[in-house]
Amino acid sequence: MVKKYIRKRVDPSKHREYVRVAESFAGGAELAREFEYWNAAGVLIVHAVIAYSDAVCIKLGGLKSQGDDHGIAIELLKEILPENAENKKAYGNFEKIIAHKNAVSYSGEVYDRKDIENLWKNYERFKLWTISVLS
């Protein structure tokens, strides 16, 4: 079976809305961390990086990926941005977080403080990269 990758055209000025969504997810993740709701924090971290990725793709390419396979969002980033060491690090951080999407959300796996600290570290790196790319 061949996967179909769906992309949606989006006005580049809309990237700011995706940044706001990412910030909202991140704020929720911070609250969940505070109350030790580890899986909730993980889900929100995953969605924050997806929204930041969408913001970059929208601003620089006028596109965003759609569908359940968020690995496609990484591929779109790679298509839109030049290949360099800084971008590769960001893709790695994104991939590390996305790799947890199903486990933290659907598998029944119970996350703990250490798991979320690792995700948060990768989130922070991806966020800083996103801010530099968007400015």
Task: Residue 128: give the domain boundaries.
Answer: 9-134
The alpha-helical segments, DSSP class H, found in the chain are 15-34, 38-61, 71-80, 85-98, 101-105, 113-134
- Quote the DSSP letter at residue 9: E
pLDDT of residue 67: 73
Q: How many CA atoms lie within 13 A of 45 on its CB side?
A: 35
Give a yes or no: residue 4 inside a domain.
no
Give a yes or no: residue 91 inside a domain.
yes
Tell whether the model's pLDDT for residue 99 goes beyond 90: no
pLDDT of residue 1: 42
* Mean pLDDT within 6-15: 93
Give a yes or no: residue 2 inside a domain.
no
The count of structural domains within the chain is: 1
Tell whether the model's pLDDT for residue 2 goes beyond 60: no
Give a yes or no: residue 126 inside a domain.
yes
* Mean pLDDT within 7-16: 94
What's the one-letter identity of residue 91? Answer: Y
- Answer for the pair 73, 50: CB distance below 8 angstroms, yes or no: yes
pLDDT of residue 4: 55
6, β-bridge pairs: 66
Give a yes or no: residue 124 inside a domain.
yes
pLDDT of residue 25: 98
- Give the integer Cα–Cα distance in Å for 25 and 44: 5
**Nearest CA-CA partner of 94 in 53, 54, 33, 41:** 53
Q: 63: which 2 tokens?
A: 């596109």
pLDDT of residue 5: 66
Tokens 């620089």 label which residue?
60
pLDDT in tens, 26-39: 999 999 999 999 99
Task: Specify the pTM.
Answer: 0.91
Q: Mean pLDDT for the chain?
A: 91
- Answer for the pair 15, 58: CB distance below 8 angstroms, yes or no: yes
* Mean pLDDT within 90-95: 95
> In this structure, what CATH number is given to the domain that contains residue 31?
1.20.120.330
Give 108's pLDDT tier (boundaries 50, 70, 90): confident
